[in-house]
Structure 1
Amino acid sequence: MKLSITAHLDYQFEAQADVLLQLEAAEIPEQVVEHSNLAIGEHAHFARVPGQDMIGTRIWTSISGRLTIDYSAVVMINRIVDEGLDLAAVPLHMLPGETVQYLMGSRYCPSDRFHDFVTDQFGALSGGERVIAMRDWIHEHFNYVPGASNADTTAVDTFVSRRGVCRDFAHVLICLARASGIPARIASVYALGVDPQDFHAVAEVFLGGEWHLVDATRMAREGAMAKIGIGRDAADVAFMTAYEPAYLIAQEVTVTHLG
């Protein structure tokens, strides 16, 4: 599948600000960036640095006043897709070293708080079957409500309120997977089917020796997502991290299917 992606950001800063951006589709084996263009308004500094686990890139920039960004790309998705996730969990003692950190609790994903729940609710299931059941349980019991969460909302908060946006749904699924002994991380993506269209966040679980994208909102399919970056939780994949107050003027993301 080939995706056409555009993103426009327009923010205002009152003071000189260091800004970390992560919004370019990653150059990785499962997807080919056939064309891309990034235009940033007047800035004092620009440097690309590797993303988490060397997946994708981040950009350091320094801005005074207005920050405008226009990004466009054409990305061919070559990902091996197993929509049913009919895959076994890898025994803990056989997990590759790079996956171990994604078994641990993190800032927004205190997975140790969910052990009893996953045992009671999903104890009869394992591997991909358990992941699909957890995804469907979240989709059935949670409401997608823009504005229902903020930068401090954790998976526990979302689990209690039963409402949130894509990052909140992903955080809960990540917690449930980690509490089940399945490595799980967050992935920022551009995806077809997201409504309202924006930067999207999904879970990525390690099953059958490979990572698989799973969207607990069920708005996007694994084969129709272009990965931007990955991390322990949303703190690692923000499209913009500003170290001074920033004020939104405009933001728009579009993703279309090119065939």
Structure 2
Amino acid sequence: MLRTVTSHLSIDVRQPLEMLLSVAVADASFDRTEQLSVRHEEGPLDVVEIKGPHGGRVHRVLVPAGRVVVDYSAAVTGQADPPPVEDVDLVEYRRPSRYAESDRLLAFARDQFRGLEGSELLDAVVAWVAGHVTYLSGSSLPTDGATDTLLKRRGVCRDFAHLVVALLRAKDVPARLASVYAPGLKPMDFHAVAEAYVEGAWRVVDATHLAPRDSFVRIATGRDATDTAFLSYYGGSLTLRALTVTAAVHEVLPPDDGTGLVTLR
């Protein structure tokens, strides 16, 4: 399988700042070629790579005021080994977090999904979120968490993923958020999905049903969007002027109805 991805960011920096980018494909056992450039209007900027958990890589750039353009491209051949299972992750990813407030959803989850476990629980949570939350661009705030999404019943991919993660954690299932490139996604953008520890492995689920899970390419993984944001900055101010993402798979993938156990590879 050959998957190709790109991202392009055009940014106006009003005051000098430290910028953190999470746009690169995560380290894994597949073959990967890639290129990352960060250019200021006065020339290229130095980029420092910082290794993160689960193969994720953050790129740190000190940026002066002015126009900055980020371009990333990668070609991934083959699929990665299944994500490793670490005891510390099974502890960490059962705890409530900033945007996946599972402690506030305990009663709801236990009543709604009473008696379910394993893959049956996983499918039921995904089906409930898909059936009760409407995907609507611009309908949520950056500060919205899972409880906000449950009440509003609308959101974008990160809101769907946060709600799935929180409901699973409320049922004592380790769950986490992954940012991915998603061939087949419409509208194309960075995508957020959930991973759950079910039947001895990490399984990827996507309640938006907007792209086939077998096509996903991992970028970053963490407790929630706090750990996976594609752009963060400190010490100044900026405006994101333009964002373009592409992702393609160079073969025909079978349709994905969102059920069944799939691994993010």
- On the 8 A contact 1:77/1:224 being kept in 2, the answer is no
Please, which runs of 5 or more residues in structure 1 have no aligned partner? 82-94
Contact 1:79 1:223 in 2 (8 A): no
* Map 1:5-84 → 2, pairs under 5 A: 5-29=5-29, 32-42=30-40, 45-51=46-52, 53-64=53-64, 65-78=66-79
What is the deviation of 1:41?
A: 0.3
Structure 2 residue 145 is the aligned partner of structure 1 residue 154: yes
Determine helix, strand or coil for the equivalent of 1:174.
helix
Q: How many matched pairs?
A: 244
- 5+ long unaligned stretches in structure 2: 252-265
Contact between 2:28 and 2:81, CA under 8 Å: does it hold in 1? no
Aligned twin of 1:145: 136
- Find the aligned partners of 1:117 and 1:246 in 2 and give their Cα distance: 40
Q: Does structure 1 retain, via aligned residues, the 8 Å contact 2:127–2:207?
A: yes
Partner of 1:88: none
Structure 2 counterpart of 1:218: 209
The offset of 1:33, in angstroms, is 4.1
**TM-score normalised by length of structure 1:** 0.89
SS at match of 2:15: coil
Partners of 1:80 and 1:139 in 2: how far apart?
29
Query: Post-superposition shift, 1:45?
Result: 4.1
Cα 1:135–1:150 change in 2 (3 A) is same
TM-score (normalised: structure 2): 0.87
- In 2, the alpha carbon distance for the partners of 1:240 and 1:4 equals 21
Contact 2:54–2:221 (8 Å) recurs in 1: no
Q: 1:198 aligns with which of 167, 189, 205?
A: 189
CA distance in 2, matches of 1:129, 1:79: 26
Mark the CA change 1:80 to 1:60 in structure 2 (over 3 Å): closer, same or farther: closer
Among residues 234, 248, 253, which one is paired with 1:256 in the alignment? 248
Give the Å deviation of 1:245. Answer: 2.2
What is the percentage of aligned positions where both structures have the same residue? Answer: 37
Equivalent residues of 1:41, 1:68 under 8 A apart: yes
Matches of 1:135 and 1:229, distance apart in 2: 21
Q: Is the 8 A contact 2:15 2:238 kept in 1?
A: no
* Paired residue secondary structure (1:78): coil
Q: Over residues 199-243 of structure 1, what are the superposed CA-to-partner deviations in whole Å (9 max), with x where a residue is unaligned?
A: 000001111222111111111232110000101000100011022
- Contact map agreement 2:38 2:45 (CA 8 A) in 1: no
Q: Is the 8 A contact 2:26 2:220 kept in 1?
A: yes
Q: Within 2, Cα distance between the matches of 1:45 and 1:38?
A: 11
- d(CA) in 1 for partners of 2:111, 2:50: 43
Q: Measure, in 2, the Cα distance between the counterparts of 1:110 and 1:77.
A: 36
